[in-house]
Structure 1
Amino acid sequence: MSAKSTINTYTSLLTLARKLRSDLAGVELILLYAYNRTGKTRLSMEFKGEGKRKTKKNPTGSADTLYFNAYTEDLFTWDNDLENDSARGLRINQASRFFDGFKNEPLEPTIDQYLRRYADFDFDFTFEEVQQGNESFSRPVFVKFSKGDESQIKISRGEQNIFIWCVFMAICEQLLKYPEAYSAVKHVYIDDPISSLDDNNAIAVACDLAQLLRRTASRKDQNGAPAPIKVVFSSHHALFFNVMCNEIGRAKEGEPKVAHKRYFLHNPNGEGAYMLRATEDTPFFHHVASLAELQMAATLGTGKLYTFHFNALRSIMEKTASFFGHSDISFCLKALNNEDNLALYNRALNLLSHGKYAIHEPTEMGEDNKELFRRILEDFTTAFKFDLPDIVGAPMPAANPAASPAATS
C-alpha cells in the first residue's frame, strides 16, 4: 500500500506561498492536507500578504485574496452581557473590510439558506451606517441568536463557528453574483473551516464547499468571458480533506472538470524546512495520513496516547479490510503474522475502541494499554507496508516484545 511521489522542500512559508501561487497559474484549485501546528494559518497569511505586494501587475498593492482562517473567526467575539445578562451575542470587529460584502445586497437570506443545512437556530443582525469614501452603507455590528420562543440564547462554540462559516459562504456567493464588484479578488484561501464540528456536519460542509468551488472555477465576468477564482483549501481534518478530494475529483454530468492539485504539507521538526508532497492516492489517502498521526502519538518520549486513539486505529483497520473486500477487521488481524497475540489484539480493539471517549476532553491511556497500542500499530503498519517514514520524519518505536499486557477498560 505504498505510493511514491516527489517531495519538495521549502525554506520558508513565503517561498511555499509563492509556489502555491505559481501552481494556480495552471490549475483552479489546490487541496492541501497538513497536521495541526504545521503552519497552515501562517501560510494562508503569507499567501494573502504576497498578493498585496506592489508589482508591475499590481502597482497599487491592492489585496487579491479573500481568506477564511482563524483570524476570520476572531472578527466575531462573544459577549455575555455580564451587566444585564440579556443582550447576549457576537460582536463584530468594525476594523475589517471583510464585511464590505453587505453593501451589495442583504446577505441574511443566503446566510440563512446555508445555516439551515447545519443548525436549527435563528439569527438577527444589528446594523450601523458607515461611510467609506463617498459611499455609505449599513454594516453589521452585532448578531444575536434565538431558537423557537427563546430569544438571545447562548450558542455553543461549534455553533458560533458554523454561523461564521455561513457568513463567509454568503460572501463567496457575492463573488459569483457580482464579479465586477470584486474585480480585484483573484484568489480565495480557506484554512480549516470546520473546527468543533461533528463528522456529519463536516461531510455536509465539505460537499457544499466543493459545489461552491466548482462554481468559482467556472465563473465568468459581466461580459461572459472566463473569470475563474483560484482557490487554496487547507485542512488538518482527514475526513474533510478526503470528502473534498472525492467531490472535486468526481466527474459530474454537465459540469466542467476542475483542474486541481493535491498536496501533503509536513514540517518535520516544527521549524525550519517545509516539505510538500504531491498525493493522488485518494480516496484512501486520509487513512494513511491518520496512521501517520497515530504513529507520532505513539512515539516514545514525545507522543501522547489517549483512549480515543484505539477508536481511530480500529476505524483505519476497518477501512483497510473494506479496501481488500472484507467485512471486518479480522482480515487485518490474521494478516499480522502474530498468531500468539491474535486473540489479545482482537479483544483489545473490540473492548477499548467502543468507549464514549471525548476528543475535546481526552483521557490519557494507562501505561499497559499504551504498550499494547504500540504493538498493534507496529504490527499493522509493518504487515500492510504503509509508506509512512518520509511523511512522519521518525520511525515507529519498537514495542517491547516481552511485554504482554492484558487489555483493561
Structure 2
Amino acid sequence: MNNQPKPIFFPDLQKLVIRLRDDLNDHLFVLLYAYNGTGKTRMSMAFKDYAKKRKKNPGADTLYFNAFTEDLFSWDNDLANDTERVLKINASSKFFNGFKELALEEKIFAYLERYADFDFKIDYDNWKVIFSKGEQNHIKVSRGEENIFIWCVFLSICELVIEDSKSYEWVKYVYIDDPISSLDDNNAIAVASDLAQLLKKGKDRIKTVISSHHSLFFNVVCNELKQFKHKRYFLYKNVDKGHILRPTDDTPYFHHVAILSELNRVKESGQINTYHFNMLRSILEKTSTFFGFTDFSECIKDIDDEVLYSRALNLLSHGKYSVYEPVEMGEDNKELFTRILQAFQDKYKFELPELLPYEPSNESQE
C-alpha cells in the first residue's frame, strides 16, 4: 500500500491561497519549493491581495518580499553630470510606513555588513539612498549589491514588526518569495540562516510563508525551522492549468527526486524541451556531489556509451534555455535524452514520488 501523501489540485490561485492561510491557522511556517516559472510571485501577490478583497474585515495583513519589492527602489543615475547617483525610494508604499520616524540605518547596517563592504546613508527628506565605499561617494552599486541592500531593508522592517512597532501593527503574515536570486552557496547559507533566526525570534508575533526555487537556501531554511510547527510542500503546475501542492513534510529533499519524476513524465509524453537537458544535468551534478565524485560524468561511468552521454550533457546543457520560452528538442536529441535518463536510473534506483494523478480538494475559507 502506498502511504505517500496525495498531491492536491487547485484550479486557481485563490483556492491555493485559502489553503495556505488555513495552514497558518495551525502552523507557524509554510515552506514551498517550486521551480522558476511556476507562478510563485503571482501567488505571493494573490496571498497579499486576498485580505484586501475579502468581505469580512478587508484590509492589508501581509508584509511581502518578492520581485515587486525591488521595484520600490529605482536609480537616478544623474545623466546630466554623472556624479551624484542615488537610489530613490517609493515613499508612497505602505512598505515604508515606519521608515522616517524609526530611522532604520543601524538595523539595516547590522545585516548589510555581513554580506557587503559598502556603506550608505538615507536622505529621509528626499527619499533617496546614497551609497559610498571608502573615499568614493554617490557610487552606483552592482545589481547584486542593490538586491542584498533591499533584502537587508526588508529584514530590518521585519524586526520592527516583531518589536510591535505601531507603524506595522497591521502585519499578521510575512510572505517571502525567492529573497536573493543570484547567491553563491556560502551566501545562500548565510542568508537562509539569518532569516531563520529572525523568524524564530518573531514566531509569537507573525506567521510566515517562504517560497523558493533555490534548493540549498530551501534546505537550510527547512533544517533551521523543522523544530517548529510548519507545513512543507512542493508546488508545481498542472499540465493543463492550475497548480498542484504535494506535501513533503516527511521527505525534506523531495524536490530533487521530483525533478526526476518530471523528467520521466516528459520522456513518456514525448514533449521533451531543450531546458530538460539542463534539469537532467542538475540531477547528475547533485548525485555526484552526494557521492563525493569530482565530476558529474562519474555518475554514468562504466555504462554503455558513457563518453557519448558525457559529451552530450556537456554540450546540450550549456545553452541558455528558458522555461518561459520552451523549445522542443529534435528527434535525435530526444532519443539521446531518453537513453541517458534511462541509463542513469538503471544505475541508481530512486523511489520516485507520485506527482500525477492528483485529487481535487475542497478548501474552507476564512
How would you bin the TM-score normalised by the shorter chain? 0.7 to 0.9
Give me the whole-angstrom Cα distance separating, in 1, the residues matched to 2:206 and 2:195. Answer: 14
Partner of 1:272: 241
The equivalences for 1:202-241 within 5 A come to 202-217=188-203, 219=204, 228-241=205-218
Q: Are 1:242 and 2:228 an aligned pair?
A: no
Deviation string 1:54-81 (CA, Å, 9 cap, x unpaired) is 544x2xx231111111111111112222
Deviation string 1:15-35 (CA, Å, 9 cap, x unpaired) is 110111111000000001111
Partner of 1:136: none
1:90 is paired with a residue whose SS is strand
Q: Are 1:141 and 2:127 an aligned pair?
A: yes
Q: Indicate how the Cα distance of structure 1 residues 328 and 243 shifts in structure 2: closer, same or farther if over 3 A, else same.
A: same
Larger radius of gyration, structure 1 or 2?
Answer: 1
2:137 is paired with a residue whose SS is coil
Cα deviation for residue 339 of structure 1 reads 3.8
Deviates more, 1:373-382 or 1:204-213: 373-382
Indicate which of 201, 204, 224 corresponds to 2:187: 201
Partner of 1:263: 233
Give me the whole-angstrom Cα distance separating, in 2, the residues matched to 1:296 and 1:153. Answer: 50
Partner of 2:117: 120
Indicate which of 253, 256, 263 corresponds to 1:284: 253
Give me the whole-angstrom Cα distance separating, in 1, the residues matched to 2:59 and 2:333. Answer: 56
Give me the whole-angstrom Cα distance separating, in 1, the residues matched to 2:162 and 2:95. Answer: 16
Give me the whole-angstrom Cα distance separating, in 1, the residues matched to 2:52 and 2:103. Answer: 28
Partner of 1:352: 314
Give me the whole-angstrom Cα distance separating, in 1, the residues matched to 2:242 and 2:47. Answer: 17
Identity of aligned residues (%): 49
Give me the whole-angstrom Cα distance separating, in 2, the residues matched to 1:99 and 1:187. Answer: 16
Instruction: Report how many aligned residue pairs link the two structures.
Output: 349
Give me the whole-angstrom Cα distance separating, in 1, the residues matched to 2:55 and 2:109. Answer: 40
Instruction: Return the letter of the residue paired with 2:91.
Output: Q
Q: Are 1:161 and 2:138 an aligned pair?
A: no
The answer as to whether partners of 1:242 and 1:282 remain within 8 angstroms in 2 is no
Partner of 1:188: 174
The equivalences for 1:313-392 within 5 A come to 313-321=283-291, 332-333=299-300, 339-342=303-306, 345=309, 348=311, 352=314, 372=336, 374-382=338-346, 383-387=348-352, 390=355
Deviation string 1:164-209 (CA, Å, 9 cap, x unpaired) is 1110000001011225553321111111111232232222111111
Give me the whole-angstrom Cα distance separating, in 2, the residues matched to 1:24 and 1:102. Answer: 28
Indicate which of 304, 313, 332 corresponds to 2:274: 304
5+ long unaligned stretches in structure 2: 359-366
Q: Indicate how the Cα distance of structure 1 residues 77 and 306 shifts in structure 2: closer, same or farther if over 3 A, else same.
A: farther
Q: Indicate how the Cα distance of structure 1 residues 283 and 375 shifts in structure 2: closer, same or farther if over 3 A, else same.
A: same
Give me the whole-angstrom Cα distance separating, in 1, the residues matched to 2:15 and 2:338. Answer: 37
Q: Indicate how the Cα distance of structure 1 residues 310 and 339 shifts in structure 2: closer, same or farther if over 3 A, else same.
A: closer
Partner of 1:47: 47
1:380 is paired with a residue whose SS is helix
The answer as to whether partners of 1:44 and 1:189 remain within 8 angstroms in 2 is yes
The answer as to whether partners of 1:64 and 1:185 remain within 8 angstroms in 2 is yes
Q: Are 1:74 and 2:74 an aligned pair?
A: no
2:224 is paired with a residue whose SS is helix
Give me the whole-angstrom Cα distance separating, in 2, the residues matched to 1:109 and 1:290. Answer: 42
The answer as to whether partners of 1:321 and 1:327 remain within 8 angstroms in 2 is no
Cα deviation for residue 341 of structure 1 reads 3.0
5+ long unaligned stretches in structure 1: 129-139, 220-227, 250-256, 394-409
Normalized per residue, the structure richer in helix is 2
Give me the whole-angstrom Cα distance separating, in 1, the residues matched to 2:264 and 2:89. Answer: 41
Cα deviation for residue 369 of structure 1 reads 7.8
Q: Indicate how the Cα distance of structure 1 residues 238 and 392 shifts in structure 2: closer, same or farther if over 3 A, else same.
A: farther
